[in-house]
Amino acid sequence: MTELASFIAGLPKAELHVHHVGSASPRIVAELAARHEGNSPVPADPAALADYFAFRDFAHFIEVYLSVVDLIRDDEDVRTLTYEVARELARQQVRYAELTVTPYSHVNRGIPAPAFCTAIEDARAGAARDFGIELRWCFDIPGEAGLPAAEETLRIALEERPDGLISFGLGGPEIGVPRPPFKPYFDKARAAGLHSVPHAGETTGPGTIWDALRDLGAERIGHGITAAQDPQLMAHLADHRIPLEVCPTSNVRTRAVTSIEEHPLPALVAAGVTVTINSDDPPMFGTTLEEEYAVAAHLLGLDAAGVADLARAAVTASFLPHAGKERLLTEIGDYAAGHA
């Protein structure tokens, strides 16, 4: 392990863009596939999952992602998955994570909303107790399911309101799923005190990001990499300190970006845009948050001090209360000082 990789491995971190089901480890996915063998295309052999997770394009990624969602059949599956995701994040020294959860996908497959929310909350409490990690939830609309999914996601968010819920999102494919029709749902979520964190500008152009800002009141943008095509938008993001949740390897694996060397992260940083580094769906993309920090360090030419600044940016952009931010920023500062 290089000196920088070792520094990254021990660095206290916050993770702001990581999907619940997309974080299921190969071991957990294979166990679920074996449990439901015969009625799922997902391999029950962990070694075969790398080939299964070779995505032709973003549409194929969504197809594969939903096949994994289909493996989660009851609240105990939800509880186990969530707890194991927290274990892996904590192994990487993640102290705080905002996990993107899509309750509609599970409720629509027969898990009652109260049971689903109880399961993730049980796992959240267990993770805090056993791993020392704080989890919070972003309830995410699966865009491919349209406005009925938005209605149901909002209903679950407002009626169940699990203690860890802090934000409201919109994910899934962007092509063919414009942002403006979702405005009424975001308006109600924001009125109820939830933060707005929609995906935008991953596989579509800067116009989608403008729509997310103007219509959905976005406080952070999931991905947002096509902002690099619009200098006016980059200036707006920089001036208003609206962070992007950047996931470099994800963008290459879904073919949103041709190669890692062509990733627009350096252009965004050069324009003064606040960026945070995240892992998105790490096992599906063959990565970890640690590896994403290493990729970002390579693209941006960072040393250990620069990498520590990336970790600070994620904490600052998070929805942690002030005292929690200060504690984690102090921990990062102490760690960096000890390795100077």
Residues belonging to the active site: 202
Contacts of 230 (CB under 8 A, 6+ apart): 205, 206, 209
What are φ and ψ of residue 171, in 5° steps?
Answer: -125, -155
Tokens 């998955």: give the residue.
81
Distance CA 316, CA 123 (A): 25
Burial string for 300-329 (b: 16+ CB within 10 Å, else e) reads: bebebeebbebbbbbbbbbbbeeebbeebb
Distance CA 306, CA 151 (A): 42
User: For 272-316, where are the E strands, in sequence order?
Assistant: 275-277
Question: What distances in angstroms separate CA 203 from CA 57, 66, 249, one per listed residue?
Answer: 10, 18, 14
- Closest by Cα among 323, 319, 301 to 136: 319
* Region at 185 (left for phi over 0; alpha for psi -120 to 50; beta for the rest): alpha
Distance CA 223, CA 234 (A): 13
Distance CA 9, CA 268 (A): 25
Cβ pair 79, 123 in contact under 8 A: yes
Contacts of 301 (CB under 8 A, 6+ apart): none
Assign 277 to helix, strand or coil.
strand
Distance CA 313, CA 330 (A): 13
Question: What distances in angstroms separate CA 266 from CA 270, 301, 316, 337, one per listed residue?
Answer: 6, 9, 20, 26
Distance CA 36, CA 309 (A): 44
